[in-house]
Amino acid sequence: MKFKEITFRDPNSKRIYLDYIARIQKAVKALNNENQQEVLLEINSHIYESLISDSDTGQEEITRLLDILEKLGQPEVFLKPLVAEKKLDEATRTFNPLQVAKALALNIGNGIAYVIFAILYLMLFSFLFLIVAKLVDPQNVGFFYRPDTVFILGYYRDNGITHTEYEQLGNGFIPLMLVLAVIFYVLITLLLRLKRTLK
As a whole-number percent, the residues of the chain with pLDDT over 70 amount to 76
Q: What are phi and psi of 142, to 5 degrees?
A: 160, -160
Measured CA to CA in angstroms, residue 178 lies from 37, 106, 134 at distances of 38, 27, 12
pLDDT at residue number 110: 57
Cβ atoms of residues 65 and 16 within 8 Å: yes
Query: Given a cut of 90, is residue 16 above it in pLDDT?
Result: yes
Q: What are phi and psi of 154, to 5 degrees?
A: 140, -140
pLDDT at residue number 103: 64
Per-residue pLDDT averaged across 171-199, rounded?
Answer: 78
Least Cα distance to 62 among 6, 141, 118, 24 occurs for 6
Whole-prediction pTM:
0.56
pLDDT at residue number 199: 56
Strands (E) located in 76-161 = 141-146, 150-155
Cα separation, 176 vs 52, whole angstroms: 63
pLDDT in tens, 70-128: 999 999 888 887 887 777 777 666 666 666 666 666 655 555 666 677 777 777 778 88
Helix, coil or strand: residue 167: strand
pLDDT in tens, 38-56: 999 999 999 999 888 866 6
Considering 36-40, 159-163, 173-177, 190-194, the range whose residues carry the highest mean pLDDT is 36-40
Measured on CA atoms in the order 171, 176, 182, 184, is the torsion positive or negative? negative
Q: Where are the domains of the chain?
A: 11-78, 89-198
pLDDT at residue number 99: 66
- Alpha helices (H) along 28-96: 33-53, 61-72, 75-78, 80-94
